[in-house]
Structure 1
Amino acid sequence: MSDTPRLNTAGFTLLERARDLRTLIEREADKAEAQARLTDTVVDALHEAGIFGIWVPAPLGGAESSPKELLAVFEQLSYADPSTGWVVMATTLENGTAGAYLPDEAIERIFTGPRMPLIAGQGTRAGVAVPEKGGFRLSGQWSFASGMPHAQYAHSLGAIEGTDEARIFITPMEDVKMLGNWDVLGLRATGSIDYSIDGAFVPDSYSHVFSTNEPLRGGAVYRLGLLDQALICHSGWALGIGRRLLDELIRYAGERSGRPGQLAGSDAFHADFARAEVKYRAAKALIHQAWDDAERALAAGRTLDVREETMLRLALNHMTSTVTEVARFVYASGGTSSLRDGLIQRLFRDIHAGAAHILSGPQFLRECGRELAGLAPGETWAVLNLEP
């Protein structure tokens, strides 16, 4: 276990680099959409900028950014292109948690070479892990492995046969069969394919308990545990796509300003835009308030209490539903520019794909309401539910 509760602060360098990549990412977005994966040009640029090390523990050469620093980078990349932001948030989370929680033997093999490894996979649908001397035999099929076409390792949830203990298993891509069935409405460029593993041997050192919040290296951000860290990902992504939707509508209306009968001259549009803007800003403020509170707890050397965890989940749920509502307004206001293939249409498709993720779903909202209403005394957050 790490001997320090310190919350690392990486600074603004990676945020500035992410901002500098915007022109390149936007230029490559249509090609990425067409080929259903990020372009090699963008992946190489992200590597060169050090973005894939943003979540990796500092002792392994990563930035080990704080939650709000991560939020800012994911927001910036998702503003440039939601699929790029999604791939980065997913792979960097898995890079970071592997670096924090895996034993030294695996770390010495995975975190070598001139580039940070890319780890991609799925942590919500469990395969079966059969104990064997020195490790496990892992089998299963998983869906929505964002960024896997670019990865060197897979991150997969498995349940131990006989005990049902949930663990994360890290396997080289040679053990993975990529099923390649990524034909979807939104987030097309994420390459979030299904994959399977058939009886691959996974040494003990290449797995960790799913629910652990005790890092073997690195500081306080890893004491959030894997699931709470995932909330950072989806919150930052929603911040970025929400702002881009509103900015694209500003651009669209401005281009038509002064023309008779156009949107820019409509009192109803002015009022509706003001409502959309304030809803987005209020949801963003709640995200930042919740993570300010979380960072103070981590910096003080403690884990989050139940209410603090509730607010992180509620803030994400509220932001996602708000941005989905904003997207409908932007799409309806964009006229034929929304109907035709283009950026507004792609943003509209992407937000509806991202909003379908389980972490933004109604189950969290119901549980948050139960806790906030004082109807879950003595219960704590366990994956998606509050439990005694």
Structure 2
Amino acid sequence: MSDTLRLHTAGTTLLERARGLRPLIEREADAAEAQGRLTAAVVDALHEAGIFGIWVPVPLGGSELSPRELIAVFEELSYADPSTGWVVMATTLENGTAGAYLDDDAVERIFAGARTPLIAGQGTRPGTAVREDGGFRLSGQWSFASGMLHAQYAHSLGAIEGTDEVRIFITPVADVKMLGNWDVLGLRATGSIDYVIEDAFVPESQTHVFDQDEPLRGGAIFRLGLVDQALICHSAWALGVGRRLLDELAGYVVARTGRPGQIAGSDAFHADFARAEATFRAAKALVHETWDDVERTLDAGRHLDVRQDTMVRLSLNHVTWTVAEVARFVYASGGTTAVRDGLIQRLFRDVHTGTAHITSSPLALQACGRELAGLAPGQSWALMALE
């Protein structure tokens, strides 16, 4: 692939469409929470607005947004509803990378319909794949398949038996047994169920190596590889939810101004709110500074170096745990309103569920510190660890 591969940008049209969906997404959020999946009205609206095509390579008819454009869209959707933002970021990542990395005949099959296909699954803990003429036999059980209840295809990590190779396998949902076990604290509307695949044949063209970072179609964003692209998603999600938490608290205290005993008149609360706002904005600034640097590197035709890989992980980890602190402050300040079932409580639960993701683990933070301190010479990033 040519070193002149450039970064594609698409402008603000998709962001404006995402913003226009906020009233619908907010109206449907309680129903989605209750049923454990996004409502049909929201899924249809996201399709009609072209949101599910934001990561698909341009040659396949997608919008192929740049990292910062993706961040803006995911932030907007996550502000409207954290579960909606989470489902969209997970499925668009997986349909985008499938479009970039799969062979032509697989792409022709998968992307042949009028709608952008939704692909959902798990890319961390591998199943087992056995080579067979023309492809593989894949078996395994995977967890946290966000958006699977809306998907047409599964995206699953598999280790090739007898080798050190791991690949991503794209299989139709007909090959998937959904376990339906999504009974969780937060992000309830994501339907992030566990699933099983038993001895399914997968053509080789519907697989790609896990660490592929040269696209067969599409621009320089796909040189990030699957893991670094996933970091775009989780950084943006934290930004959207953090902003919504602070805005909800501000609305809560303004509505109670002048009532006896309310925190709106507390100097200590005023100072704490200022600190929370400043801390959140600083974390957001780090995310944008980091991805601005990434975009310049990609547009110059280069891959990221180890320090840049460290910074995309660090900025994600930092904003996620900053938002967790913001959530605790908002919950503690919200009085009985936060205790009762409602938006502040749901945001609090969603944030703390989001912190459990592997990308925000304490081990990832420790590895970032080791690299930044110059204690990892010659090492590079593999998933969320240095080797």
Take 2:219 and 2:329, find their aligned partners in 1: how far apart are those partners?
42
Amino acid across the alignment from 1:95: N
For 1:112-191, list aligned pairs within 5 A. Answer: 112-191=112-191
Mapping 1:352-367, distance limit 5 Å = 352-367=352-367
Alignment of 1:72 with 2:72, yes or no, is: yes
Q: How does 1:244-259 map to 2 (within 5 A)?
A: 244-259=244-259
How far 1:221 moved relative to its partner? 0.1
Contact map agreement 1:294 1:308 (CA 8 A) in 2 = yes
Structure 2 counterpart of 1:161, one-letter code = E
Shift of 1:383: 1.4
Cα pair 1:2 1:215 within 8 Å, conserved? no
2:52 alignment counterpart: 52
Determine if contact 2:78/2:84 at 8 Å carries over to the other structure.
yes
Q: Corresponding residue for 1:7?
A: 7
Deviation at 1:260, TM superposition (A): 1.7
Instruction: Give per-residue Cα distances to partners, 1:274-307, cap 9 Å, x unaligned.
Output: 0000000000000000001100000100000010
| Structure 1 outlier segments of 4+, above 2 Å | 1-4
Alignment of 1:229-308 (within 5 A): 229-308=229-308
Per the alignment, residue 226 of structure 2 pairs with: 226
Task: Give the aligned partner of residue 217 of structure 1.
Answer: 217
Secondary structure of the residue aligned to 2:162 is coil
The one-letter code matched in structure 2 to 1:91 is T
Q: Which residue of 1 aligns with 2:99?
A: 99
Alpha-carbon contact 2:4-2:300 (below 8 Å) kept:
no
Distance 1:75 1:196 in 2: 31
Tell me which residue corresponds to 1:312.
Answer: 312
Amino acid at match of 2:372: L
Question: Residue in 2 aligned with 1:205?
Answer: 205
What's the CA shift for 1:261? Answer: 1.5
CA distance in structure 1 between the partners assigned to 2:13 and 2:264 by the alignment:
38
Q: SS of 2:201's equivalent? A: strand
Q: Which amino acid aligns with 2:51?
A: I
Contact 1:2–1:217, Cα closer than 8 Å, also in 2 = no
> Equivalent residue for 2:338?
338
Give the AA of the match of 1:371.
Answer: E
**Separation in structure 2 between the aligned mates of residue 218 and residue 233 of structure 1, nearest angstrom:** 19
Secondary structure of 1:168's aligned partner = strand
Supply the distance in 1 between the matched residues of 2:383 and 2:285 (Cα, whole angstroms).
25
TM-score where L is the length of structure 2 = 0.99
CA contact (8 A) 1:2 1:218 kept: no
Counterpart code for 2:180: G
Contact kept, 8 Å, 1:249 with 1:330, in 2: the verdict is yes
Listed as ranges, the gaps of 5+ residues in structure 1 are: none
Partners of 1:34 and 1:382 in 2: how far apart? 37
**In the aligned structure 2, how far is the partner of 1:240 from the partner of 1:194?**
26
CA contact (8 A) 1:2 1:216 kept: no
1:321: which partner in 2?
Answer: 321
Aligned length: 387
Matched residue SS, 1:318: helix
Matches of 1:330 and 1:181 in 2, distance apart? 30
TM-score by length of 1: 0.99
- Give the CA RMSD over aligned residues: 0.8
**Structure-2 separation of matches of 1:4 and 1:202:** 33
Cα drift, residue 164 of structure 1 = 2.8
1:6-25 Cα shifts (integer Å, max 9, x gaps): 10001000000000000000
Counterpart CA distance in 1 for 2:192 and 2:348 is 18
Kept after mapping to 2: 8 A contact 1:2/1:214: no
Is 1:194 paired with 2:194?
yes
Evaluate the alpha carbon distance shift between residue 111 and residue 4 of structure 1 in structure 2; reply closer, same or farther with a 3 A threshold: farther
Please report how far the alpha carbon of residue 382 of structure 1 lies from its aligned counterpart in structure 2 after TM superposition: 1.3
What are the Cα deviations for residues 5-49 of structure 1, in whole angstroms up to 9, with x where unaligned? 110001000000000000000000000000000000000000000
Partners of 1:18 and 1:76 within 8 A in 2? yes
Q: Which amino acid aligns with 1:136?
A: F
Q: Identity over aligned residues, as a percent?
A: 78
State the shift of 1:52 in Å. Answer: 0.2
Structure 1 position 4, deviation (Å): 4.7
CA distance in 1, matches of 2:292, 2:203: 38
Does the CA-based 8 Å contact 2:3-2:302 persist in structure 1?
A: no
2:243 partner SS? helix
For residues 184 and 82 of structure 1, what CA distance do their matches in structure 2 show?
14
Change (3 A) 1:133 1:3: farther
